[in-house]
Amino acid sequence: MLLHEGGWRLMRADVVVSGGRIAAVGKAGERPGKGEGEKGKRTPVLVRDCSGCLVAPGLIQAHIHLCQTLFRGLADDLRLEHWLTRRIWPLEAVHTPETVYWSAMLGAAELLLGGTTAILDMETVRHTEAAFRALQRVGLRAVAGKCLMDAHPEGAPLELAESTDTALAEAESLARRWHGAAGGRLRVCFAPRFVPSCSGPLLRAASELAELFGAQLHTHAAETIVERETVLRTTGLEEIAYLDSVGISGKRAALAHCVWVDQHEMARLARQGTNVVHCPSSNLKLGSGVARVPELLEAGCRVALGADGAACNNRLDVFAEMRLAALIQKPRLGADVLPAGRVLELATLGGARALGLEDEIGSIAVGKRADLIVLDLREPHVTPAGADPASRLVYAARASDVRDVFVDGRAVVLGHELMTAAIDEIAREAGRCAAELRRAARLA
């Protein structure tokens, strides 16, 4: 079992789960209710033998767009601005409740099967209700929000336009319905798309709603140099300072990307405890750049990881993100920067912070939610075991090594199989919906 006490430490141990939480972690065989045929006071619902496997905290991705899972492979090799105007916005504009539902099911299935147990998610402008229904069914922990955009950026289709009031009213109504649903597994975030598509009043109101509901704020920031310059031109402020001025900062806020931030902005992010979500695949694939994660950490920033969407990755694979996050800094700063253990912290403790759930998830500790993954590490690519379990997870392991996944102690994946929905149905419906969206958006 992989425990975090200062650093990562392997212990041969059992974990006892009760009421969705970790009730005890103890040396193998010593705890009641876990031994074969043993009679503890509390009969566990499920005894799962994990001998020979590695039990790790569920991995967390703090920037995901489930609504883009159906767009996988439809928007390759384009830079962010064209990617948005030629593909993503036209496709999002034709989404229906049904396509949003299956997009979320497909993405959540991929995430769970690959060991991601919790996400911070940004949906599209409409039909977010459908995404929550999918999340409720599939069993992933999610902090999700409808995309807010009331200013109309160049190239965006009219179907995505909303008035400030309509946008806020729908976000609030979603929060009333879903914040804390499914026993607390589902939560709402307020998710302005990015500064160029949001008015100041919308951003301020989103911040106030987040405060009111005790919810997170989730947006994009400083993703490309074009965005940085646009914000500077239109607001007169650097992006991080502007976001701060409208209340999008502090521990409630998770800013995806932050590729283009200078030393002053890093200091501001650190001072206020704002969460930065590093999305290395997405930043590379869209040609946005490489976020200076070691410098952000050095400045004291809170950093998490995310795959972004399948339309710009094209995986939702936390193992791919961890490995890439570690590798891409080394040519610039040396082979010893961002070692494996540090990266694994970003995908666990860092993710928990960005979701506003640091007391609930992110490590295997008594009292925390039982979000656990079990890795079967007998295949050649993870052999021999090596000296450092974090190295094994970050540099060698892959999503397909995840055997079992528990969220709130519920088995959502067992023996590499999704327990909460039929994969065949998801694949079939997703294929059908994707074809429909392509036709409706007049792509190929």
Contact positions with a second copy (CB under 8 A) in 99-128 = 106-107, 109-110, 113-114
Q: Are strands 216-221 and 186-192 parallel, antiparallel or unpaired?
A: parallel
Q: Which is nearer to a second copy, 102 or 190 (CB)?
A: 102
- In the chain, the amino acid numbered 304 is A
Q: Does 54 bind a second copy (CB under 8 A)?
A: no
Q: Which is nearer to a second copy, 46 or 435 (CB)?
A: 435
| Residue 404 backbone dihedrals phi, psi, to 5 degrees | -130, 150
Q: Does 294 bind a second copy (CB under 8 A)?
A: no
The stretch among 55-63, 201-209, 276-284, 368-376 that binds a second copy (CB under 8 A) is 276-284
Q: Which is nearer to a second copy, 273 or 289 (CB)?
A: 289
Cα 66 from Cα 127, distance rounded (Å): 12
Q: Does 378 bind a second copy (CB under 8 A)?
A: yes
| Out of 290, 365, 414, 419, the residue judged to bind a second copy by CB under 8 A | 290
| Out of 379, 417, 425, 439, the residue judged to bind a second copy by CB under 8 A | 379
The stretch among 29-37, 40-48, 92-100, 278-286 that binds a second copy (CB under 8 A) is 278-286
Site track 20-49 with a second copy (rule: CB under 8 A), x = hit: ------------------------------
b/e code 86-115 from CB counts within 10 Å (16+ = b)? ebbbbbbbbbeeebbbbbbbbbbbbbbbbb
Q: Does 391 bind a second copy (CB under 8 A)?
A: yes
Q: Which is nearer to a second copy, 21 or 315 (CB)?
A: 315
Please, what is the minimum distance in Å from the beta carbon of residue 70 to a second copy? Answer: 6
Count of C-beta atoms within a 10 Å radius of residue 430: 20
Please, what is the minimum distance in Å from the beta carbon of residue 337 to a second copy? Answer: 8
Q: Does 7 bind a second copy (CB under 8 A)?
A: no
Please, what is the minimum distance in Å from the beta carbon of residue 320 to a second copy? Answer: 8
3 state DSSP class of 112: helix
Q: Which is nearer to a second copy, 14 or 321 (CB)?
A: 321
CA angle 319, 321, 323 (to 5 degrees): 70
Of 69, 272, 84, 354, the residue nearest 196 (C-alpha): 84
Encoding tokens for residue 325?
A: 């996050």
Please, what is the minimum distance in Å from the beta carbon of residue 71 to a second copy? Answer: 9
The stretch among 154-162, 261-269, 292-300, 330-338 that binds a second copy (CB under 8 A) is 330-338
Helix then strand then coil, % of the chain, to nearest 5: 45, 20, 35
| Out of 340, 355, 375, 407, the residue judged to bind a second copy by CB under 8 A | 340
Q: Are strands 21-27 and 410-414 parallel, antiparallel or unpaired?
A: unpaired
Cα 412 from Cα 418, distance rounded (Å): 6
The stretch among 211-219, 234-242, 267-275, 393-401 that binds a second copy (CB under 8 A) is 393-401
Q: Which is nearer to a second copy, 317 or 408 (CB)?
A: 317
Count of C-beta atoms within a 10 Å radius of residue 74: 19
Cα 122 from Cα 312, distance rounded (Å): 14
Q: Which is nearer to a second copy, 22 or 324 (CB)?
A: 324
Residues with Cβ within 8 Å of 58's Cβ and at least 6 positions away in sequence, in order, are 115, 116, 117, 118, 141, 361, 371, 372, 373, 405, 406, 407
Residues from 134 through 153 that contact a second copy (CB under 8 A): none
Cα 313 from Cα 93, distance rounded (Å): 21
| Out of 258, 399, 407, 441, the residue judged to bind a second copy by CB under 8 A | 399
The stretch among 21-29, 228-236, 311-319, 354-362 that binds a second copy (CB under 8 A) is 311-319
Of 201, 126, 190, the residue nearest 159 (C-alpha): 126
Site track 63-92 with a second copy (rule: CB under 8 A), x = hit: -------x-xxx-xxxxx--x---------
Q: Which is nearer to a second copy, 212 or 335 (CB)?
A: 335
- Cα 298 to Cα 32, 279, 294, 346, distances in angstroms: 44, 18, 6, 14
| Out of 30, 330, 417, 439, the residue judged to bind a second copy by CB under 8 A | 330
